[in-house]
A and B are shown apart, each in its own frame.
Chain A
Amino acid sequence: MVSHYLFLSIILFCLGILGVVSRRNVFIVFMSIELMLNAANLGFVSLSRLHVNMDGHVLALMVMAVAAAEAALALAVIILLHKHKGNLDTNIFSLLKG
């Protein structure tokens, strides 16, 4: 059943949201965002299977490319923050707070 795949996608997306909300480690937050992107991909591909139409596959490819770009930039930012603060806590990174 295609709807089972959509249930799994919803569950994974919610787990990603919970990871972003509840954790303070930068890496865990980052990987939770990746988890949400993957859940969206699963939704695209399963709806694409439902309609027997491959546009969803192309969209999943685009999402993967965006995720790769995001990973490169976010890891560079994490390295810089770790160099400046020596910590991985998201609460410490408050340089923009007035």
Chain B
Amino acid sequence: MITTYLFFGFALLAVLGALGLIIFKHPMNGAMSFVVTLISLAGLYALLSAKLIFAIQLIVYAGAIMSLILFIIMFLNIQEKDLPLDPNRWFYLAGGIVVVAPIAGLLIKISKSLPATEVTVFEDGFGGVKEVGQLLFTQWLLPFEIVSILLLVALVGAVVLAGKRGVN
């Protein structure tokens, strides 16, 4: 029962954070409200007994990626006058809702047809570091190596792009 209340609390926070992201004018406010979404998603992963994903969501997403984004936003020192004018953002927003709403309705209809499993939190044996790690290093070894190469390439690319000298 408590998990249901927790789910609705986290879901409300996540949706409010996402709404704040697409409504706030300054990117700093948007980033702050996006952090709320990320942390409540971490809570939802905990409710789904995905303990490893919960920890990694908090450490990598809400910690590393968002602090990188916040650092860059502060680094660029964005003033109120640097922000792009969005004269017809509400128009585009309304158009986007008109296009997206039928697709969302269809997807919700599809996911209603799934079997109604009550979500209970598993004590152990599911979603912990040991179980996911065993799966990752046996069945998913090749994708894991490919992702590590991708991260290396992205690291080199970021250094080459951002560390360029003599560009005005």
Interface residues of A (CB under 8 A from B): 1-8, 10-12, 14-19, 21-25, 27-28, 30-32, 34-35, 38, 41-42, 45-46, 48-50, 52, 54-55, 57-58, 60-62, 64-73, 75-80, 82-84, 86-92
Given the interface contacts A15-B15, A38-B41, A88-B83, does A23 sit within 8 Å of B119 by beta carbon? no
Please tell me the number of chain B residues within 8 Å of chain A, measured between CB atoms.
83
Inter-chain residue pair count (beta carbon < 8 A): 230
> B19 — nearest CB in chain A belongs to which residue?
A15
What residues on A are CB-neighbors of B95 within 8 Å? 21
Whether a CB of chain A sits under 8 angstroms from the CB of B1 is no
Main SS at interface, chain B: helix
Given the interface contacts A3-B112, A35-B18, A65-B150, does A45 sit within 8 Å of B53 by beta carbon? yes
What residues on B are CB-neighbors of A52 within 8 Å? 126
Per the bound structure, the CA–CA distance linking A76 and B71 in Å amounts to 12
> B87 — nearest CB in chain A belongs to which residue?
A24
Whether a CB of chain A sits under 8 angstroms from the CB of B161 is yes
Which residue from B30, B41, B111, B140 sits with its C-beta under 8 Å from A3?
A: B111
Per the bound structure, the CA–CA distance linking A96 and B140 in Å amounts to 39
Per the bound structure, the CA–CA distance linking A76 and B167 in Å amounts to 14
Chosen A-B contacts, 7 in total, with CB atoms closer than 8 Å, are: A23-B22, A25-B27, A25-B83, A31-B69, A57-B127, A80-B167, A88-B27
> B113 — nearest CB in chain A belongs to which residue?
A3
Flag if B21 contacts A32 (CB, 8 Å). Answer: yes
Flag if A69 contacts B151 (CB, 8 Å). Answer: yes
Flag if B84 contacts A22 (CB, 8 Å). Answer: no
What residues on B are CB-neighbors of A91 within 8 Å? 84
